[in-house]
Structure 1
Amino acid sequence: MYKELIGKKSKKVKNTIERGLVKRFAESIGDLHPIYVDEEVGSNSRYGTNIAPPTFPRVLSSGAIEGLKLPNKGLIHGEQIYHYKRPLLVGEEIYSYSVIEDYYEKQGSNGLMGFLATKRYGEDAQGEIIFTEESITIITETVRKAMKV
C-alpha cells in the first residue's frame, strides 16, 4: 500500500520553540515542571533557558511527504520513540523533516493491518541533529478498505 513511498522525505520546515507553546504543551500533558515553565528556573539552569518537554516535537511542523495520503480518522497510534542529543531550548529555531522508513503488513484477528514507520528529524541552524522521533502508525483492515473506495 505504501511501499513505493519508502525513502521519501519532506522538505525541512523551520519551527521556533516558543515559550507560550511550550507552556501550553506542558499544561496539556499535565507536567508543569519548572524547567519547562518558570523563566527564573530556566535562566538559572545549565541550559540558560527553559527547555521543552521530551514529547514536544509532536507539535512541530515537519512538512508533507509527497504522495502520502492518510485518512483523517481510524488510524491507530502504535509506537513513538524519541532520541535526543540535547533538549530543545526555548527561543531556538529547529528545522524538522520526516522520512518514510518502512511499510509492512501483518494478519491480525480483525484482518490485515498495515504498519507505516516514519522518522522525524530535528536539526539546529547548523544542520546538527538534535532529536529523532520514530513512530508507527497502524492502518486497520476497515480503514484500508475505506481508503480504496
Structure 2
Amino acid sequence: MDLDKSMIGIASEPYSAVVEQEHVAQFAQAIGDDNPVYVNEAYAKTTAYKGTTVPPTFLVALGSNAKFPLKLDFKRMLHGEQEFIYHHPVRIGDKLDCTMTVTDVYDRVGKSGTMQFLVLDTNMTTADGALVAVSRNTIIYRQAQKEAK
C-alpha cells in the first residue's frame, strides 16, 4: 500500500487508557529519569504541577492500544519524529479517551528516492471531552522493494 492524501482523517476506534502509578514509575525508571514529581505526591504538590504527573514522553506508552484501520507494511516504516503537545498535566489515575487519526500525508525526495511521510495524531481527552494532550508521530514510509526476477 502506498500512502495518499485520501487517508487524511482516517481514525482508529476510540480506546481508553488509565494512567497507573506503577506504569509511570516503571516508565520513568526505564528512561533513567528519577524526578520525584512522577512518584512522590507530597513533593509534587510543592511544584508548579501541584501533584504527580508523567514524564513528558510517557504518552507514547498509551498509543499502543489503538486499533487502526490502515494495513501498513511494517517493514517499510521508520520512526521519523515524535512530538507531545500538552494542554493540561496528565495525572496518576487519569482515564484518557484516545483516538489516533491520520492528520497529514506528504512526500519528500531524498538521496534514495521519494519517501512518504504519514503523520498520526493521538488526541487524549478527559471523560467530559477536554483535550489533555496530543501525541504526534511522524512515520517515514519507504518505497516498496521491487521483487527480484
TM bracket (short chain): 0.7 to 0.9
| Aligned twin of 2:142 | 140
Letter of the 2:3 partner, please give it.
Answer: Y
Segments of 5+ residues of structure 1 without an aligned counterpart are: none
Letter of the 1:55 partner, please give it.
Answer: T
TM-fit CA distance, 1:43:
5.0
Query: In terms of mean alpha carbon deviation, does 92-101 or 78-87 score higher?
Result: 78-87
- For residues 39 and 71 of structure 1, the distance between their equivalents in structure 2, rounded to whole angstroms, comes to 43
- For residues 65 and 118 of structure 1, the distance between their equivalents in structure 2, rounded to whole angstroms, comes to 11
Alignment identity in percent?
A: 29
Partner SS, residue 57 of structure 1: helix
The count of aligned residue pairs is 143
TM-fit CA distance, 1:73:
4.1
TM-fit CA distance, 1:120:
1.0
- For residues 138 and 105 of structure 1, the distance between their equivalents in structure 2, rounded to whole angstroms, comes to 9
Residue pair 2:59, 2:84 contacting (<8 A) in 1 also: no
- For residues 96 and 54 of structure 1, the distance between their equivalents in structure 2, rounded to whole angstroms, comes to 17
Partner SS, residue 9 of structure 2: coil
- For residues 39 and 77 of structure 2, the distance between their equivalents in structure 1, rounded to whole angstroms, comes to 32
Residue pair 1:13, 1:97 contacting (<8 A) in 2 also: yes
Matches within 5 A, 1:3-14: 3=4, 4-14=6-16
Query: In terms of mean alpha carbon deviation, does 43-52 or 23-32 score higher?
Result: 43-52
TM-fit CA distance, 1:25:
0.7
TM-fit CA distance, 1:101:
1.0
| Aligned twin of 1:30 | 32
| TM-score using structure 2 length | 0.85
| TM-score using structure 1 length | 0.85
| Aligned twin of 1:99 | 101
Matches within 5 A, 1:86-125: 86-125=88-127
Q: Write the deviation string for residues 50-94 of structure 1: whole angstroms up to 9, x where unpaired.
A: 11111111011452221x123334522212221111110001101
| Aligned twin of 1:77 | 79
TM-fit CA distance, 1:105:
1.6
Letter of the 1:65 partner, please give it.
Answer: F
- For residues 72 and 39 of structure 1, the distance between their equivalents in structure 2, rounded to whole angstroms, comes to 40
What is the CA RMSD across the aligned residues, in angstroms? 2.0
TM-fit CA distance, 1:16:
0.4
| Aligned twin of 1:2 | 3
